[in-house]
Amino acid sequence: MSSPTDADVQTTDTTPTPATPSSRQLVVLISGSGSNLQALIDAQNTPALPNTSIALVLSNRKAAHGLVRATTASPPIPTAYLALQPYLRSNPGKTREDYDLELARIVLREKPDVVVLAGWMHIVSEPFLEALRGTREVKDEGQEQYESSSNNDENSVPTSPIPVINIHPALPGQFDGANAIQRGYEAFQRGEVDKLGVMVHRVVAEVDRGEPLIVREVPIEKGEPLEVYEERLHRVEWEIIVQATKRVLDEVKPLPLEGTENA
């Protein structure tokens, strides 16, 4: 197995993250602008997401602006970057499944309570989900295949399943997959659907089909520009991604009663 080439990697911030009192940890996966990540960054350790911090932001695109949002947050959030094609080029014989298990390994090292897919444009596979459920062991092969500014290099197998949730800009069963905003907008303008919306759902291997956690309709008007609808939709996303994350955290790791030790 070879290491990633210089062309595949770039130096990231290695500033140690100050110790945090947060007892609940998120790992957030992104591919792009990271506006939903920003909503989570802003909500950390506030009443919207009490006693919660983001342990790691993982991107599959080097140029994802969300990585900049993470490294410039206060305190800075560790980041990692691993893209499929450079991984496959650097590791002849490795497969898409190996890549997905490497992603799972990076996530598991942080021992998150919840994993949030916030604009993650890579189909989550069953092996990845099995690793997060703890039904599939992922061995640490002892060689870093990715670029990371996280200080946490422990190998880990979860002791209980780690929930994975995803934000998708459509109502349940509508417009699965990529470009859902534009496809929904065009379908509405053609009169094929009469309502549109966004949801946060639990992740299963079938794309955008896991159990919805929060569903919100987004108003749309005939003839309004796509950009106007899109802006309205994103504002709803920024609210529900935080609400759904809190709901799932409260299921898996409720806050301790005041005066008791953090779990």
* Interacting residue ranges for ligand GRF, rule: CB under 6 A: 30, 32-37, 66, 118-119, 167-169, 237
Would you call 217 exposed, middle or buried from its count of C-beta atoms within 10 A (0-12, 13-18, 19+)? exposed
Nearer to ligand GRF, 109 or 168 (CB): 168
Q: Which of 65, 122, 168, 234 is catalytic?
A: 168
Distance of closest approach, residue 153 Cβ to ligand GRF, in angstroms? 27
CA-derived radius of gyration, the chain? 19
Would you call 198 exposed, middle or buried from its count of C-beta atoms within 10 A (0-12, 13-18, 19+)? buried
Distance of closest approach, residue 176 Cβ to ligand GRF, in angstroms? 11
Nearer to ligand GRF, 84 or 207 (CB): 207
Nearer to ligand GRF, 118 or 162 (CB): 118
Q: How far is residue 114's CA from residue 252's CA, in Å, rounded to a whole number?
A: 8
Nearest-CB residue to ligand GRF? 119
Amino acid, res. 96: R
The secondary element (H helix, E strand) that includes residue 80 is strand 79-81
Q: How far is residue 162's CA from residue 111's CA, in Å, rounded to a whole number?
A: 9
Nearer to ligand GRF, 131 or 199 (CB): 199
Distance of closest approach, residue 247 Cβ to ligand GRF, in angstroms? 18
Amino acid, res. 70: A
168 is catalytic: yes
Q: How far is residue 243's CA from residue 49's CA, in Å, rounded to a whole number?
A: 8
Distance of closest approach, residue 118 Cβ to ligand GRF, in angstroms? 5
* Catalytic sites, residue numbers: 168
